[in-house]
Structures are given as structure tokens and as C-alpha cells.
Amino acid sequence: MRKDFYIFRHGETDYNRQNRWQGQGIDIDLNDNGRAQAEILATKLQDKGIEIIYSSPLKRAKQTAEIVARFANIPISIINDLTEGNVGDCEGVLREEVAEKYPDIWNVWYGDNQIMDVRWPNGESKLEIQQRMTKAFEYMLSSQKNIIGVASHGAAMRYFLMQFGYGPHKMKNTALFHLVFADNKWDLLETDL
């Protein structure tokens, strides 16, 4: 059995433009630029044969998924575990303020791949995000579909993909990854196709 997953981050929101953290507690729409980014993403994915898109329930991911699905004429299904990481007290706060207030957490959050128990006050740890996303992908493996789109979020994708060699890098809006499950193992084949 082989399953191909095309995993993409949502398009831009006004919070992204302001460098303000959204997390899973802030649910806002894509802005005009984000919708344009999603249309460009849709054209990149149009010839991949995607049969279904599984999406986070948050508007920014769901709206990105809807644009891609419209281009490919395919259905969308919501999986709650694909939602963004919970960054607790930092949701809605400017990135530079978070870095200034919590420099030790900031450095580990974006730096050391081995330290997975770090968390923002009242938020999820990197490991909890990774485990939640892994659970979502295990569920998607049971799908009857073999070529699957996945609409999610920066932190959720980053800490899930770390298992497959992706670094703790920040990722741009509509970043795209091709992950394959075959012969009982996962392989991250390409990024930003």
C-alpha cells in the first residue's frame, strides 16, 4: 500500500502580516493575499491527482483547502487533530513580544529538535502537537483514497514533519510538502514542489 500526502500550510491572514501569533484559539479568515496564495497553491497541486483534502477546522486552513478543492473538484473532510498548536498565553501576541518575554522557550521552540517537552504557558508541548498530528495521519492511512491533500498550520506541520528530518524552521504561508507512506515507512520526498 502506498499513500501520497500533499501537506500544505494555510494562506496569509492579517495576523500573519502583523507577525502576531494565532495558535488554535484565534480563528480568522484569509486576507486577500492569502486567497491569492491559495490559488497559486491550487495550480501547483492541480496535476497531482489528489482525491480528497483533509483540513484543520480553523477558517484559515479550511478556506485554503476550499480553494484547492475547487480547482481540483474534490471533497474536503475536517479532522480536528490537524488544528494549529495551542500556544496558550501567547495567542494573539506579536512574535517579537513573545521572543522578548520568553527567550528561553523561544530558543528551544525554534532551535533544538531533541527537546520536545517545551511549551508556552498554558499551551501544548512540541511533543503533544506531534502526537496529535501523528494520530491524524494514522487515521488518514485508513482512508480509501491514496492521494491525499492535508491543510494545516505552521507549528502543527513543523513538529509533525520533524520525525522525517524536517528542521525546526519557520515556514512560509502555503508551504508544501510531499510525504509518502509505503512499505510500512514514511518518507519526506519533497518540499515546496
- Cα–Cα distance between 45 and 116 in angstroms, integer? 32
What does the alpha-carbon distance between residue 118 and residue 159 come to, in Å, rounded to a whole number? 12
Give the pLDDT of the chain (193 residues) as one tens digit per residue.
899 999 999 999 999 999 999 999 999 999 999 999 999 999 999 999 999 999 999 999 999 999 999 999 999 999 999 999 999 999 999 999 999 999 999 999 888 668 899 999 999 999 999 999 999 999 999 999 999 999 999 999 999 999 998 876 778 999 999 999 999 999 999 777 5
The residues carrying an active-site annotation are 10, 84
User: Helices (H) and strands (E) in the chain — how many of each?
Assistant: 7, 6
User: What is the crossing angle of helices 32-45 and 59-72, to 10°?
Assistant: 40
pLDDT value at residue 112: 66
| Distance from C-alpha of 82 to C-alpha of 99, rounded to nearest angstrom | 25
Model pLDDT, residue 1: 86
- DSSP H helices, the chain, are 14-17, 32-45, 59-72, 95-101, 103-110, 126-141, 154-161
Domains within the chain, CATH numbers bracketed: 2-175 (3.40.50.1240)
Residue 114 confidence (pLDDT): 81
pTM, whole model, 2 decimals? 0.95
Which pLDDT score, from 0 to 100, does residue 170 have? Answer: 75
Dihedral sign of CA atoms 22, 23, 26, 30 in order: positive
pLDDT at residue number 5:
98
Neighbours of 14 (CB within 10 A): 15
State the residue for C-alpha cell 527567550.
Answer: 103
What φ, ψ does residue 113 adopt, rounded to 5°?
-70, -20
Query: Phi, psi (5° rounding) for residue 66?
Result: -65, -40
pLDDT at 4: 98
